[in-house]
A and B are shown apart, each in its own frame.
Chain A
């Protein structure tokens, strides 16, 4: 009979290891095979593998910190504190031994689940990054929206509350969004050493204008670079202490940073220029075609380089407060992505996690405020279904806005500008265009997303 155990305490200096040793001593006395994973300040050691879980009878969690229980799903779990393990390790092991092993049918089901999890390993890393990013998007987005409530340009006045809110939301929370996404993707792949190159790569993605898609690339690159470095660098025992504090962070950050600047940075800049020129040439052609293209661009990377190109182009058409059809189409197309995902979380509840459904409510608020970033957590978690859906919705909205000849005289503001006199030309039809785009995106996501 084999028992697994995880020990972990808040400081991770002493109790984690005492509990582990106590369990090992008790197991020896009882003649039970045990494997104890310690999660202390050095990180996870003697890690439990899927192989271990398959062959185990039960698992003891002697922890005073939060540990991932999901990976043991299927195994009976004995929950305890490190204190319990130090005081009465024997009792814990006996309790674990007395646990009922799951039925055969369950095991088959678990095996299936496991193979599915293996395929979607990258998906797991992505989701880790996304779940850490969501609160940043929500907090930052709502603070920016609050700033707009004082007036669309209120934040430009230095020293006002509106300026402070914009600083906190935009300069603070939003600027951390991509670094956090990239950092925790890398963290999920390579544990603690992944965080540094991931976050630095994320910051560079932002600086280079590569947006959240650049951040995802940075995160995965950082994670796998660290994992690779860990494998290839062999140090004498006495120097091992240098690995986590000096060697891994330094080398991985250097590699990821250079990669971002020289491999990702160049093409991104070239694409940005090419798009700007191309849009300039397009503006002579059919208004509806231009609307479709701008809509697709606005939704493609939500605040990334493609989106920025479309937005900057639109702002440039706002010559001295002159209302612009292009500006109207672009703002509408930037509102529907978060609105569409928010709608999808309502009509297809069972296809989203609890966390995502909550984020959906925030996304609605961000959508009406023309903060396209509100859809990023959803797009990052499931890019191949979400991004096409929001692109189609935004294209429809922008094309309709052009067809209806709606105009906009301000560069930002979402629904807060709608009541301002003369800000929007063709208000009713403009609203219709936004609603239709939202419906398109919402229903398309609902149809494409698989059941969980």
Chain B
């Protein structure tokens, strides 16, 4: 069974959020995008009030995550997502301004699916998003955990 994927964007810079959204749209991806400007709100949405992650059970999500957030580290969010039984199957795309190899390595170790350095050149970014568009279309809803 397929189900439209909801894109969760956690990005504190409004401009970046807008640009990402526009480029996603421009590359032909029309999925619902829910934006969060800080980590706390995003965590509340993803894990629910009790932090169990139950509200998202069975939902197909794609998470775009900025590592530099004002209130918490994106790395922490990534770690908690990948440790949560309901969320760990959701693909996570890390979007950040640094291309530090240590940081990239750490993200992949924690289970991030794609690491994208925020481009200054948006033409390349659009290409990347288009490829991600293909990626989005093959997302399978994770089997419902018992």
Bound pair: A and B?
Answer: no
